């Protein structure tokens, strides 16, 4: 199994301006061609965290999906992030994992942020997603999902864990910065997995401030990337054999409680 090179892109977002955000990220992705295998963008990377989905939603096959297809092909890397998708009369905060060959997978945010009334405007997802990519098993999740450890619990079936890399994309405000940092580390330790969290910077149209603090942790809970509040792209290679060795030396997953999760 080969290692996986991952890039976290932490940036401010132009409020409700999908065209400007797509162009900005395209300019940042271009120099990464051939240098990384997975690029992670923030939650609602085309618009910021808007609770007016009628103003920002796209059809699934709209401009952002076409943009992701093009950028993944040009860069030779998978790209993932979330944006607002309309299906019929329903709206979803949908995370897309786009592979370089044009194959893609979707995850709809399960836990909608009640304190921001997201649950009044968006439809909750009901299925967890595990993506197989270059031999790695990757679990994509969105922002508020981070607070719910049962949903992100790493299972163990047929001699393998459910996933090797857990991803959270977010618009996580600065006042709850310590929650973000603490929970990302906890998810890595308890799930014996690499964990990447990509947040935005700047101030949105509602006056909320974002400090970034995008992070990458190994399965020990040690920092591999700590972006603090720098607007940049951050690349690191994940060592699969080191992960496998740690899981063998400290197989806590073999003593985990079993349960069935019912979603509705």
Cβ atoms of residues 23 and 14 within 8 Å:
no
Q: What is the pLDDT of residue 158?
A: 80
Q: What is the percent of the chain where pLDDT is above 90? A: 95
Q: How far apart are CA 216 and CA 145, in angstroms?
A: 17
Please tell me whether the overall predicted TM-score, pTM, comes out greater than 0.75 for this model. Answer: yes
Residue from 237, 205, 234, 264 nearest 41 by CA: 234
Q: How far apart are CA 144 and CA 172, in angstroms?
A: 8
Catalytic positions, please? 43, 109, 143
Domains of the chain: 4-254 (3.60.110.10)
DSSP state of 258: P
- The 3-state DSSP class for residue 51 equals coil
Tell me the pLDDT of the chain (264 aa) as tens digits.
699 999 999 999 999 999 999 999 999 999 999 999 999 999 999 999 999 999 999 999 999 999 999 999 999 999 999 999 999 999 999 999 999 999 999 999 999 999 999 999 999 999 999 999 999 999 999 999 999 999 999 999 888 999 999 999 999 999 999 999 999 999 999 999 999 999 999 999 999 999 999 999 999 999 999 999 999 999 999 999 999 999 999 999 999 988 787 776
Cα 66 to Cα 60, 69, 102, 168, 251, distances in angstroms? 9, 5, 10, 23, 42
Q: What is the pLDDT of residue 221?
A: 98
First to last CA, the chain: 37
Q: What is the pLDDT of residue 264?
A: 65
């Amino acid at each position: 199994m080969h290692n996986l090179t991952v890039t976290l892109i932490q940036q401010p977002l132009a409020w409700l301006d999908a065209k400007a955000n797509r162009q900005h990220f395209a300019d940042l992705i271009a120099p990464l061609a051939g240098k990384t295998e997975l690029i992670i963008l923030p939650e609602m990377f085309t618009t910021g965290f808007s609770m007016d989905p009628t103003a920002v939603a796209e059809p699934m096959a709209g401009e952002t999906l076409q943009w992701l297809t093009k950028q993944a092909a040009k860069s030779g890397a998978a790209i993932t992030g979330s944006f607002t998708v309309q299906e019929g009369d329903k709206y979803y905060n949908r995370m897309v994992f786009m592979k370089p060959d044009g194959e893609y997978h979707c995850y709809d945010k399960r836990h909608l942020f009640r304190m921001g009334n997201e649950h009044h405007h968006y439809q909750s997802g009901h299925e967890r997603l595990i993506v197989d990519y270059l031999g790695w098993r990757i679990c994509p999740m969105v922002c508020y999902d981070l607070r719910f450890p049962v949903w992100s619990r790493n299972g163990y079936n047929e001699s393998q864990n459910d996933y090797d890399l857990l991803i959270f994309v977010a618009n996580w405000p600065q006042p709850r910065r310590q929650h973000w940092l603490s929970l990302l580390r906890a998810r890595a330790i308890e799930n014996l997995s690499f964990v990447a969290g990509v947040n935005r910077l700047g101030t949105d149209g509602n006056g909320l401030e974002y400090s970034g603090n995008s992070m990458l942790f190994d399965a020990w809970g040690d920092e591999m990337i700590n972006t603090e509040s720098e607007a940049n792209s951050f690349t690191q290679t994940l060592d699969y054999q080191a992960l496998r060795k740690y899981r063998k030396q400290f197989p806590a997953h073999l003593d985990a409680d079993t349960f069935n999760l019912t979603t509705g």
